């Protein structure tokens, strides 16, 4: 009886209970779940960062880029041509045309001008064809918001042209319902050496311009105020 009692007591103290045996397994599963969850969250964050980085640093594909508008060395350019930097010979070789002629069927009116020393490309003037739709939103997606705005009018009372100014570039757009809208169509583009800021200049837009004698100026150069009514820009 005494021996049997000792054996039973020993077995009671040495055999683990089922609840004690399950606890280490639960801890292992919890640890693995935490690891898997941590890897999943980290992967999701890295994917979001990669997508955001790609969107920020990519050049949007649009009618503007298909037409030839581009960024070269962080400045506006057209088909790789930069007034003031591209040589005149290279400009002619790139376009394959004399200075004043249509670039091709998609660009019926394009003219090039050379610098006074005949060494560099000085200006590119482009009329957007009627069958090509480039909007203000396309230009802003490519170049960002303009540094200045100018309003013109070819009639005594109603302004009908807005100029968006960038370093090295002026973009003329039509007016829809007396306001600047993302869908306002681009009519003309001027890439000019004189529009680029001088090296070390604190003025981001470069030199001031005078208006054409055929246009009546309705406002001076104004800061960008978003897609707003003409009255907001005139005030």
What integer pLDDT is reported at residue 81 of this predicted model? Answer: 92
| 229 has pLDDT over 60 | yes
Residue 71 and residue 143 in contact, taking contact as beta carbons nearer than 8 Å:
yes
Residue 126 phi/psi, 5-degree rounding, is: -130, 125
Confidence of residue 7 (pLDDT cuts 50, 70, 90): very low
For residues 65 and 76, give the distance between their C-alpha atoms in angstroms, rounded to a whole number: 11
Confidence of residue 140 (pLDDT cuts 50, 70, 90): very high
What integer pLDDT is reported at residue 69 of this predicted model? Answer: 92
What integer pLDDT is reported at residue 18 of this predicted model? Answer: 52
Where is pLDDT greater, at 227 or 106? Answer: 227
| 184 has pLDDT over 80 | yes
Task: Provide, rounded to the nearest whole percent, the portion of the chain with pLDDT above 90.
Answer: 20
Please list, in sequence order, all residues whose beta carbon lies within 8 angstroms of the beta carbon of residue 23, skipping any fewer than 6 positions away.
none
DSSP labels for 7-44? HHHHHHHHSPPHHHHHHHHHHHHHHHHHHHHHHHHHHH
Averaged pLDDT of the chain = 75
Where is pLDDT greater, at 70 or 160? Answer: 70
pLDDT digits (tens, 9 = 90+) for 11-53: 445 555 555 555 566 677 777 878 888 888 888 888 777 665 5
| HSE-CB for 187 with a 13 A CA cutoff | 10
């Amino acid at each position: 009886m005494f021996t049997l009692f000792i054996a039973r007591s020993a077995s009671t103290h040495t055999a683990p209970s089922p609840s004690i045996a399950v606890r280490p397994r639960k801890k292992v599963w919890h640890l693995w779940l935490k690891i898997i969850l941590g890897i999943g969250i980290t992967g999701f964050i890295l994917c979001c960062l990669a997508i955001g980085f790609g969107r920020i640093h990519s050049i949007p594909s649009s009618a503007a880029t298909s037409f030839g508008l581009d960024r070269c060395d962080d400045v506006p350019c057209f088909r790789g041509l930069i007034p003031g930097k591209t040589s005149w010979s290279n400009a002619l070789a790139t376009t394959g045309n004399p200075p004043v002629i249509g670039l091709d069927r998609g660009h019926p009116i394009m003219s090039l001008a050379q610098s006074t020393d005949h060494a560099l490309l000085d200006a590119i003037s482009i009329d957007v064809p009627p069958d090509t739709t480039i909007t203000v939103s396309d230009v802003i997606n490519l170049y960002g918001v303009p540094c200045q705005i100018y309003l013109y009018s070819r009639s005594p009372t109603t302004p009908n042209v807005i100029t968006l100014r960038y370093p090295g570039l002026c973009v003329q757009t039509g007016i829809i319902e007396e306001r600047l809208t993302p869908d306002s169509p681009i009519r003309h583009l001027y890439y000019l050496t004189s529009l680029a800021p001088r090296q070390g200049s604190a003025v981001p837009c470069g030199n001031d311009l005078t208006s054409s004698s055929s246009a009546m100026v309705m406002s001076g150069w104004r800061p960008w105020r978003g897609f707003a009514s003409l009255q907001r820009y005139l005030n």
